Every structure is written in structure tokens, then in C-alpha cells.
Amino acid sequence: MRSTEITFSRKEVKSLLDVERLAHCFECGICTASCSMVELIRKDYNPRALLEGIFLSPEEILTSCEIWLCAWCYSCQRHCPQALRIPEILLSMRAIAAKHEFTKAIDDALQKIVENVPLPLVTIFTCFHPERAGVDRNNILKKMEQKYVGFLKKAKESRNVKDSGKKVAVIGSGPAGLAVAREIVLKGHEVTVFEALAEAGGMLRKCIPEQRLPKAIVAKEVQLLQSLGVEIETGVTVGKGLSFEDLWEKGYQAIFVGVGAQKSQRLKIEGEDLEGVVDALDFLWRVNIGHEIEVGKKVAVIGGGNVAVDAARTALQCGAYEVTMWYRRSHEEMPANPWEVKAAETEGVKIEFLVAPRKFLGENGRVYAIELVRMQLGEPDESGKRKPIPIEGSEFIQKTDMVILAIGEVPGVEFLPKEIELNEDGTIWVNPITMETSLQGVFAGGDAVTGPATVIEAICAGKRAATSIENYLKPLGG
């Protein structure tokens, strides 16, 4: 490793950062308040203070592990009143640090991640992206795995509670469910994860493309959890053959629901049932499990979120000649992570903004075109985004031979007992502090509660719920 003597100039930093905008940061703290990593790594990470440090003393920040702890969820940027591109600012600092080989900062960051983030191997691929700063991701993964195995060994040996006799059931093996399982088992309780699919991982395995998250990493993460004592039963659908009443009778004293948002929404327009019109989640799942997929030469993806981007990029990789995303709002409102969008465009995905489908046109039962309409943005709706309004007379026809619908996902919660209240949008209502549902002893978190969110946000929710479950279990008998 090279000496950590600072050999760069402030001019080098200013050339890479939007310094003028950074100089006028309101210092409101909203970025810190909205950051999942702040909750996971409380005392060692503060985005607002980090931004101030970058502006006032970049030399100190470059040798700090903090610039490597951003998980790229863009929550801070979405909530920032000045729309500061905080992840991009930190990326610039990472690139400078990597150039000068300040590797101790990376090692320190990895140690904090394995100690505080329940699924560190998964998050390196889906959230932290060291490769974007020029750092070899595979080398980072090897280091992290070594640190993680060491941490788990020590944690297993020094559990505060040994064989408490208390049992927790986790429904769903996505990031929230697995995070709960790790935290609970380390506290000395028995944990069983019930997964409807044949393999554990939930949406991590089902919908994230291989290039973004190799399935071998998911399998390794699951294997390490099982080595801690987490039991995982796959091919078990709660509500079909196994009820909540069965779980209580089996002695589980708390239940966590982390089923994610695994059902694609429908547009409810003419032609949606035509052959060639498919759901994005089903499409991604079939590709991920190795099915041969015949995509059209000209593919249309409806939507502007991360699932839409994943579907578009995957369609290209499956052999589509032309892939176009159609999004009803502008680029600024697009919910997909900005760098994912840029990567898709670099690969050849076209994006058309302010346009929405009116109906799908078919011939002999198969889609051959879409009737679209131009949109303009009005006042903000209940989501806070400006409402798209159709422009009268702007309809046009676009030829296509495959349509992938990625207009949002909702939880599949039909199996829940009637005592568990739902929100109007179909998500599960929980106490925002304890994450307990309206049914005592049943907790929930992740996309089933928030709607579609990032991996790190689901992990954070799982860790928070585990703390509440532990507090709930304490007064109960063994």
C-alpha cells in the first residue's frame, strides 16, 4: 500500500465536484435523516457532516471510511431540497481515494459493513458498487467474505443469550426476512424462514439480473446464515397448507412478514391480455432460472423504475434488436436509480418520456403495436410527483412485437389473517416505531410495508424489526 500522504490538490477535488452547489448546502440534515446507512451504522456515518467535510477539509475525508459507506439508494437525493447529487459527489471522492490507494479506508468500511449490515455480500453487489470508483469488486468481495466469516464466528461464540427457547417464524426470504433472521439468531433465539420458492433469496434471486447480483452470492449469503443456525424451509407457502394458527401451535412466539412486493400491477387497458404482453417480474424470473426466452425484435417496456430498467437491459441481453422504455413523466421524476438509467442508455436502451399507452393492438391474438398518447405534467398528486395529463389529439401508433409491463409492484398478502390491517394501497399497516402489525406478535417490513424500495432499505427495515421482536420476546416465558 502506498503512503497515505496527501498528494492531490484542492483544484483536483473541485474539478470533480459540483463545489458551488455543495457550498450552498442548506445544512438541513434531511439527507442524514432519510439515510438507511445512518440507521444501520449510527455513530460512524453522517452524510450532512460528510458533505461539509468534503467542502472544508477534503484531505481528511479522503482517508476516511465514510465515503465508502454510501449504499446508492438515492434516498438522500430524492429528499434533498436542493437536489444535491450526493451519491455522485461521494463517487467522485471515492475515485480520488482509489487513485491514491487509500486502502485502509476501504478496509475500515468493510469491517463496519460486515458488523452492521445483515447481508454484506449481497449489498456489495447491489448497493455499494466499489467498481464504479475503479476498485476491483471481486477483491473487495474476498476481503468482505473473510471479515464476515470472522465476525460471524465471534458473534456466535459471544451471544448474549444462549438457547433462549423462544422461536420466531419469518415468512419470506428476501432481504428483509433474511436480515431479521440473522439478527434474531445472533440473539440466541430459534428462527425458521418459510419461503414459497424452491430456493431462498426471494426477490434477490427472483428479479435482480445476474450481472447486478450473481446468484452464487445469494446462495453464499444463505449458506452463512444457515451455518449460524437459521432454518430455512423452501417450497412452503404460508396460507396453503400452513396457516398462522399452525405457526402459533408449533410454538412460534413472534412472526415476521417479509413477502416483498412480488405482484405486478396491471394497466387495465384494452389488449393487455394479448400474447406478447408480459409482466416484468415474470419475465425476469424466467430469465433468472434459465428458461429459454424468445424476446421480440422490437421490445417496448412500460415504466420508469428499477424493475423497468432491469427488464429493458435483460431484453437486450436476450437478443432484442431494439428496446424502448416508455415513461409517463419526465426524466426528473423517473424513480429508477440515475446510474442504472445511464448504464441502460449506454447499452442501447432508448427512453421516451412524457408518453403513456392507451391500448395494445393485436393481430391473430398477438400484440403488434401500441397506441400511445403524449403527456404534460400538472400539479403534484398524492405521491408528491407532478401528475401526468394526456394531451388531447396527441395519440400515435408505435409498432412492437413484445411489451413488458413494469408499472409497479404490490404485495401479495391475501394469505394474511383478517385481523392484520392493510393500507389503501394494499401494503401492510405497521406501527412506525415497533413495526408490529395490528395483530399482536406479528411484525412486518420491507416492500410489503413500504411498497417497492431498495435492497438496503429492506435490510434496514429487517434489522429494525428484529430489535422490536427482541423487545417483544423479553417479557415472554421461555
CATH number of the domain to which 228 belongs: 3.50.50.60
Q: Assess if residue 280 is contained within a domain.
A: yes
286 shares its domain with 400: yes
Is residue 157 scored above 80 in pLDDT? no
Q: Cα separation of 96 and 11, whole Å?
A: 12
Averaged pLDDT for residues 196-208? 92
Structural domain ending residue among the three candidates 129, 151, 173 = 151
pLDDT higher than threshold 90 for residue 6: no
Q: What pLDDT sits at residue 156?
A: 78
CA distance 313 to 118: 29
Report the distance separating Cα 297 and Cα 312, nearest Å.
Answer: 13
Say if residue 275 is in the same domain as residue 381: yes
206's grid cell:
427472483
Same structural domain, 416 and 404: no
Angle at CA 330, nearest 5°, toward 325 and 336?
A: 60
Nearby residues of 154 by Cβ (< 8 Å), 6 or more positions away: none
Q: Is residue 2 part of a domain?
A: no
For the segment 14-39, the average pLDDT, to the nearest whole number, is 80
* pTM greater than 0.85: yes
Helices (H), 41-190: 47-56, 58-62, 75-79, 86-99, 103-116, 120-123, 137-157, 175-186
pLDDT per residue as tens digits for the range 310-327: 999 999 999 999 999 999
Tell whether the model's pLDDT for residue 331 goes beyond 70. Answer: yes
Task: Supply the pLDDT for residue 400.
Answer: 97
Contact of 402 with 295, CB cutoff 8 Å: yes
Same structural domain, 359 and 418: no
pLDDT of residue 88 exceeding 90: no
- Asked if 358 and 379 sit in the same domain, the reply is yes
Per the structure, the count of domains in the chain is 3
pLDDT at 134 over 50: yes
Q: DSSP characters for 209-270?
A: -TTTS-HHHHHHHHHHHHHHT-EEEES--BTTTB-HHHHHHTTEEEEEE-----EE-----T
Parallel, antiparallel or unpaired: strands 366-380 and 396-399: antiparallel
Instruction: Find all residues with CB under 8 Å of 384, minimum gap 6, and list them.
Output: none
Residue 294 clears pLDDT 80, i.e. is over it: yes
Asked if 194 and 170 touch (Cβ cutoff 8 Å), the reply is: yes
Q: What is the pLDDT of residue 12?
A: 62
Statement: residue 55 has pLDDT above 70: yes
In a domain, 478, yes or no: no
Last residue of a domain, one of 105, 127, 151: 151
Q: State the pLDDT at residue 195.
A: 96
pLDDT for 225 beyond 60:
yes
Residue type, 151: F
Taking a C-beta distance cutoff of 8 angstroms, is the pair 326, 301 a contact? yes
Is 158 domain-assigned? no
DSSP 60: H
* Nine cell digits for residue 32: 442524514
- Tell me, what's the pLDDT at 3? 42
**Which residue(s) pair with 301 in the sheet?**
325, 404
Q: Percent of the chain beyond pLDDT 90? A: 68
Per the CB < 8 A criterion, the answer to whether 413 and 432 are in contact is no
Residue 99 inside a domain? The answer is: yes
Length of the chain: 478
Judgement on whether residues 245 and 333 belong to the same structural domain of the protein: no
Residue 459 lies in a domain: yes
- 290, part of any domain: yes
Rounded distance between C-alpha atoms, residue 464 and residue 157, angstroms = 23
Which pLDDT score, from 0 to 100, does residue 359 have? 96
pLDDT of residue 17: 65
Write the DSSP string, 353-405: ESEEEEEEEEETTEEEEEEEEEEEEEEE-TTSSEEEEEPTT--EEEE-SEEEE
Residues 77, 28 contacting (CB under 8 angstroms): no
Task: Tell me if 79 sits within 8 A of 12, measured CB to CB.
Answer: no
> Residue 48 belongs to a domain with what CATH number?
1.10.1060
Residue 2 has a pLDDT of 43
Give the integer Cα–Cα distance in Å for 102 and 183. Answer: 32
pLDDT of residue 66: 93
Same domain, 175 and 82: no
Q: Which of 298, 264, 305, 297 is nearest to 282 (CA)?
A: 264
User: Is residue 326 situated within a structural domain?
Assistant: yes
Q: Show which of 125, 151, 177 is a domain's final residue.
A: 151
Q: Does 242 share its domain with 310?
A: no
pLDDT band for position 160 (50/70/90)? Answer: low
Q: How many CB atoms lie within 10 A of CB 387?
A: 15
Residue range 266-279, pLDDT digits in tens = 888 999 999 999 99
Examine the domain organization and report whether 441 and 339 are in the same domain.
no
- Residue whose C-alpha cell is 448504464: 343
Collapsing DSSP states into helix, strand and coil, what is residue 39? helix
How far, in Å, CA of 347 to CA of 366, rounded?
Answer: 28
- Rounded Cα distance, 322 and 453, in Å: 28
Q: What percent of the chain has pLDDT over 70?
A: 94
Give strand pairing partners of 191: 168
Are residue 438 and residue 396 in the same domain, yes or no?
Answer: no
| pLDDT-derived band at 399, boundaries 50, 70, 90 | very high
Task: Answer yes or no: is pLDDT of 4 > 50.
Answer: no
- C-alpha 105/C-alpha 107 separation (Å) is 5
275 and 395 together in one domain: yes
Closest CA to 372 of 347, 391, 386: 391
Residue 161 has what pLDDT?
46
pLDDT over threshold 70, residue 9: no
Closest to 215 measured CA to CA, from 279, 95, 320, 126? 126
Structural domain including 137 reads: 10-151
Task: Confirm if 450 and 461 have CB atoms less than 8 A apart.
Answer: yes
**Residues 368 and 429 placed together within one structural domain of the fold:** no
How many other C-beta atoms are found inside a 10 Å radius of the C-beta of residue 350?
A: 14
